[in-house]
Amino acid sequence: MDFELLIGIFPQVLLDGLVLGFMYALIALGYTMVYGVLEFINFAHSEIFVVGAFVGVEVLLTLKAVGWLDALSPFLVLLVVLLLGMLASGLLAVTVERVAYRPLRGTPRLIPLISAIGVSFFLQDAVRLFESIWRNAFNLVYPTMDTLNIRFSLTETIDISVKSLVVIVASLLMLWGLHTLVNRTKIGKAIRAVAEDQAAASLMGISVNRMISLTFLIGGAMGGAAGVLFGVQYSLVNPYTGFIPGLKAFTAAVLGGIGNIPGAMLGGLVLGLLEAFAASYLSLLTGGAFGAEYKDIFAFSILILILIFRPKGILGEVVRERA
């Protein structure tokens, strides 16, 4: 076995894994926040993410059509796109909660989950329908922005592109912002109170419904941001792209301890790194028998193993069983 090669690619793989991990962390936040408040898996979150990606590509294509894409600073453009994507995804998440989840509150656990799966499938085809009518194509490509594709060489074998840096910086900023919001503000305290005990929170004068909507708004916005960043990083989006990243992000949330915000961030990073290493090392270590195509199986196996042996995750505390 070529140890020099194995060690040589290590830093590059680490870097790729970090980029992927931050993306998972952003999506995982949406799952974990909703689970923390409602103890419910928001299966449609992967489509909230996709809608963010599509809003991003639409805005960029529009800017390109009017010729502003090259005229404006790429970072300004990216900021605008990111904010619009977050807004759209956040509002969509709130709407979905209002229409498809709120009427089902208080029913057996499986009922809202099935409804969420339905929403997820519906949104996939809704995006496809919209794009088919609007552009007569639903596999869209993010327009290239030259500045973002510049690569810095760190050493001879390792380099990093500007867009990867953007992903890392933007994710760090958002994670820090969320952390501050939840832990240092009154609103954050109210959200935590609702997660702890809805009835008691409402006795303390907190509007439970408003806090739940807010949770969906924030989680959705994070998902939307992840969607835009995903599009910038990997270029190609279609209405069905969300499923696998969504499932992985859920894995990340469970890995970190579902309901736990720092846990989701940690879980995202760990999963991203594991996956990047699996993708590059599996085929090297097994002599080509198992290639990168097994990285999905690898992630799912992790999910299944954690759920079976440590369902509370790395940072999670024991969640009491609810009937």
Partner 1 sequence: MIRRILDHPVWATVLVGALLAVTFYGVSRFPRSIVVFMLFQCSILLLYFARMPGWLKGLLTVGTLAVLMPVLGSINGYYLEIAIQIGIFVALALGLNIVVGLAGLLDLGYVAFFAVGAYSWAIFGSPQANLIFGGSFFPLPQGWFFIFLLVAVAATAITGLLLGLPVLRLHGDYLAIVTLGFGEVIRVLANNLDKPINFTNGPKGITPISRPPIFFEPVLRALGIDPNPNVVYPLYLYFLVLVIVGVTVLVNRRVENSHIGRAWEAIREDQTAAIAMGVPMVRMKLLAFACGASFAGAVGVLFSAKQVFINPESFTFMESIGVLAMVILGGMGSIPGAILGATVVTVLNLQVLKGLSLWLNELRNAGIEILGYNLANLPTQLEPAKYERMVFGLILVLMMIFRPQGILPARRRQRELGEG
**Interface contacts to partner 1, rule CB under 8 A:** 40-41, 100, 103-104, 107, 109-115, 117-126, 128-129, 131-133, 136-138, 243, 247, 250, 254, 289, 291, 293-294, 296-297, 300-301, 303-304, 307-308, 311, 321, 323
Residue 211 CB, nearest approach to partner 1 (Å): 22
Residue 206 CB, nearest approach to partner 1 (Å): 26
Contact present, 271 and 299 (Cβ < 8 Å): yes
Nearer to partner 1, 205 or 288 (CB): 288
What residues contact 72, with CB distance under 8 A and at least 6 apart?
63
Nearer to partner 1, 113 or 162 (CB): 113
The angle formed by the CA atoms of residues 318, 25 and 96, to the nearest 5 degrees, is: 85
The angle formed by the CA atoms of residues 94, 78 and 163, to the nearest 5 degrees, is: 110
Tokens of 84: 């619009």
Residue 83 CB, nearest approach to partner 1 (Å): 29
Nearer to partner 1, 163 or 295 (CB): 295
Of 312, 10, 52, 290, nearest in space to 170 by CA: 52
Nearer to partner 1, 162 or 247 (CB): 247
Nearer to partner 1, 186 or 322 (CB): 322
Residue 294 CB, nearest approach to partner 1 (Å): 7
- Residue 25 CA: distances (Å) to CA of 32, 176, 264, 287, 306: 10, 12, 6, 32, 17
Exposure of 278 in the CB half-sphere (CA atoms within 13 A) = 19
Residue 8 CB, nearest approach to partner 1 (Å): 26
Tell me the DSSP string of 197-255. Answer: -HHHHHHTT--HHHHHHHHHHHHHHHHHHHHHHHHHHH-EE-TTTTHHHHHHHHHHHHH
Structure-derived torsion over alpha carbons of residues 108, 195, 256, 176, reported in degrees to the nearest 10: 140
- Residue 312 CA: distances (Å) to CA of 171, 318, 320: 25, 6, 11
Contact present, 33 and 219 (Cβ < 8 Å): yes
Residue 71 CB, nearest approach to partner 1 (Å): 30
Distance, in Å, from the CA atom of 149 to the CA atom of 167, rounded to the nearest integer, reads 13
Nearer to partner 1, 177 or 291 (CB): 291
What residues contact 231, with CB distance under 8 A and at least 6 apart?
53, 56, 57, 142, 237
Residue 139 CB, nearest approach to partner 1 (Å): 10
Nearer to partner 1, 188 or 316 (CB): 316
Residue 99 CB, nearest approach to partner 1 (Å): 8
Nearer to partner 1, 168 or 276 (CB): 276
